């Protein structure tokens, strides 16, 4: 085990980051945004924050920085310390390229960086193996090579995933043996095209549910090979969800995980899923995970390590079993909120159910997803509008399939080292960086997550609730009418079929006479 020894006097978290230049990959992602905001707000004397980003859709990195900070997440920071945003320095690059696609001039600008956070990753489960390896493995190696030239470096935090070793149901805070040689896999990704690697995917990833967990496991092995050269930390978040407290309650900006489920069910699009409702999902609020991420770098940079075999701290950023989300409770909470806190954009009245019987599931998909989508798209086509619902339902089906492994399996995560990050805090650091979860907060969090989806994903202001409720009442009436007509037609068809059969029977009897 790793043995940590304090360097002496207590160094507060803001003091550790004061004047320190920070380099960040994945800064435009969900966790990256929360990290930037928290670092600027709680460590106001931090040096420059270099953010690696690509030009996207014709936008330069400078424009993307402006777009990033226009997010509601930064409103509190703009009120308290608007000048802090000037510390953001965009750096053009691409994590799928050698040297991260950076120019030599920009690399020279990073020589005085003290702390590095590597959050960039492809989180899509269905990525081709080549893309997953280039994004998650090549970027890690290239970043570490750049870090070797940073003379003031004090901490490098590699953000992995709690599911990087999915075959382990008990996940400890340590590195596990390699399942493949990361160097050979990276060579294959660089040499061969996508089609060839696709043929090999099932063979080389047979222990992993998808290319994401496989490639993230490989990236951890890259850390093992560089641990003696860099002050490395591996940080493994579980399922990162809405913020629980700061800077906004319930903030979210992606459809990954539970937020996508809530949005689909709340708009009436998703009406069934194959799910054992007694299982649990280990979810961690984004702001808690980011607090711990900043503390992991602080701990690494203010602690000296005694000689031992393991110099690589691993943190499982997960919650205890009793604080994880149970599917049936999440569903019940969703149903309670769907009608009283309904969305403004509704396709139909929310409803439906889950099942563990595959035959029933596929039948429900046909009746509740596919056939209504075909009907709506046909009406759109007749009216001269662009069909859309069948495309959405196809994405829903594929998303449910990609998550099924995680829905049907459960893991127990060791979190002793992760929880210990808050134990040594003193003074103002306790209020700014510590956290505490209780059953009451978790219950409230279900409600806050629903409101977060409404506010930040659908951009529904709270003032729109009365109008949304009126729309819901109209849809409920329409739903009852449609169901009444359907059951009436079904009864009529059965009655007519019975009459026809009776008439045919009478004819047969008359013929026999």
HSE at residue 286, side-chain half, CA atoms within 13 A, is 28
Confidence at residue 3, expressed as pLDDT on a 0 to 100 scale: 41
Q: In this model, does residue 44 exceed pLDDT 90? A: yes
Q: Which residues contact 172 (CB under 8 A, 6 or more apart)?
A: 316, 414
* Interval 348-368: pLDDT, tens: 888 888 999 999 999 999 999
What is the CATH number assigned to the segment(s) 13-250+283-321+410-434?
A: 3.40.50.720
158 burial type by CB count under 10 A (0-12 exposed, 13-18 middle, 19+ buried): buried
User: Which sequence spans correspond to the domains of the chain?
Assistant: 13-250+283-321+410-434, 462-512
Residue 283 belongs to what H/E stretch? strand 283-285
Distances (CA, A) of 52 to 22, 95, 139, 327: 11, 9, 12, 37
Q: Which of 502, 293, 321 is nearest to 411 (CA)?
A: 321
pLDDT digits (tens, 9 = 90+) for 82-139: 999 999 999 989 988 999 999 999 999 999 999 999 998 877 788 889 999 999 999 9
In three-state secondary structure terms, 325 is strand
Please name the residue ranges forming H helices in 7-60. 13-17, 30-42
Do 433 and 295 form a contact (C-beta atoms < 8 A)?
yes
pLDDT above 80 for 41: yes
pLDDT band at residue 513, thresholds of 50, 70 and 90?
low
Classified as helix, coil or strand, 355 is strand
Is 7 a residue whose pLDDT tops 60? no
Q: Which residue has the tokens 């703009």?
A: 78
Mean pLDDT (the chain, rounded): 88
| DSSP annotation string for 210-263 | SHHHHHHHHHHHHHHHHTTTS-EEEEEE-EEES-SSSSSTT-----STHHHHHH
Share of the chain above pLDDT 90, in %: 55
CA separation for the pair 233, 293 (Å, rounded): 10
């Amino acid at each position: 085990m790793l043995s940590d020894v304090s360097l002496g006097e207590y160094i507060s978290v803001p003091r550790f980051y004061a004047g320190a230049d920070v380099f960040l990959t994945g800064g435009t992602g969900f966790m990256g945004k929360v990290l930037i905001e928290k670092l600027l707000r709680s460590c106001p004397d931090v040096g420059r924050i270099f953010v690696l980003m690509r030009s996207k859709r014709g936008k330069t990195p400078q424009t993307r920085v402006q777009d990033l900070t226009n997010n509601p997440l930064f409103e509190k920071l703009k009120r308290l310390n608007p000048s802090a945003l000037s510390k953001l320095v965009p750096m053009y690059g691409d994590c799928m390229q050698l040297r991260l696609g950076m120019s030599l001039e920009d690399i020279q600008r990073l020589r005085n960086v003290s702390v590095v956070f590597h959050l960039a990753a492809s989180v899509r489960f269905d990525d081709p193996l080549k893309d997953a390896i280039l994004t998650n493995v090549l970027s890690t190696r290239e970043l570490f090579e750049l870090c070797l030239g940073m003379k003031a470096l004090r901490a490098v935090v590699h953000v992995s995933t709690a599911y990087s070793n999915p075959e382990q149901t008990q996940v400890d805070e340590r590195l596990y043996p390699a399942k493949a040689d990361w160097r050979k896999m990276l060579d294959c990704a660089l040499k061969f095209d996508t089609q060839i690697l696709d043929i090999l995917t099932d063979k080389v990833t047979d222990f992993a549910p998808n290319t994401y967990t496989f490639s993230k496991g490989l990236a951890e092995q890259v850390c093992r090979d560089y641990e003696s050269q860099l002050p490395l930390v591996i940080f493994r978040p579980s399922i990162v969800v809405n913020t629980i407290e700061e800077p906004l309650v319930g903030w979210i900006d992606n459809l990954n995980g539970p937020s996508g489920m809530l949005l689909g069910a709340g708009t009436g699009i998703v009406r069934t899923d194959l799910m054992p409702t007694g299982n649990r999902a280990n979810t961690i609020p984004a702001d808690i995970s980011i607090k711990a991420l900043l503390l992991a770098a602080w701990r690494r940079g203010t602690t000296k390590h005694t000689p031992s075999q393991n110099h690589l701290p691993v943190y499982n950023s997960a919650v205890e079993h009793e604080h994880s989300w149970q599917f049936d409770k999440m569903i019940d909470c969703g149903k309670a909120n769907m009608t009283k806190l309904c969305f403004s954009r509704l396709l139909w009245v929310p409803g439906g159910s889950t099942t563990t019987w595959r035959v029933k599931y596929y039948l429900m998909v046909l009746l509740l997803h596919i056939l209504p989508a075909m009907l709506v798209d046909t009406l759109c086509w007749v009216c001269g509008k662009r069909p859309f619902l069948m495309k959405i339902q196809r994405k829903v089906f594929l998303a449910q399939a990609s998550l099924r492994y995680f829905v049907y399996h459960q893991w127990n995560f060791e979190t002793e080292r992760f929880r210990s990050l808050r134990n040594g805090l003193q003074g103002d650091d306790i209020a700014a960086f510590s956290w505490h979860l209780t059953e009451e907060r978790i219950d409230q969090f279900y409600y806050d997550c629903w409101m977060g989806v409404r506010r930040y994903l659908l951009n529904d202001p709270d003032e729109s609730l009365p109008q949304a409720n009126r729309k819901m009442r109209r849809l409920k009436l329409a739903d009852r009418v449609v169901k009444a007509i359907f059951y009436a037609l079904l009864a009529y068809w059965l009655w007519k079929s019975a009459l026809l059969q009776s008439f045919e029977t009478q004819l047969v009897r008359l013929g026999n006479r």
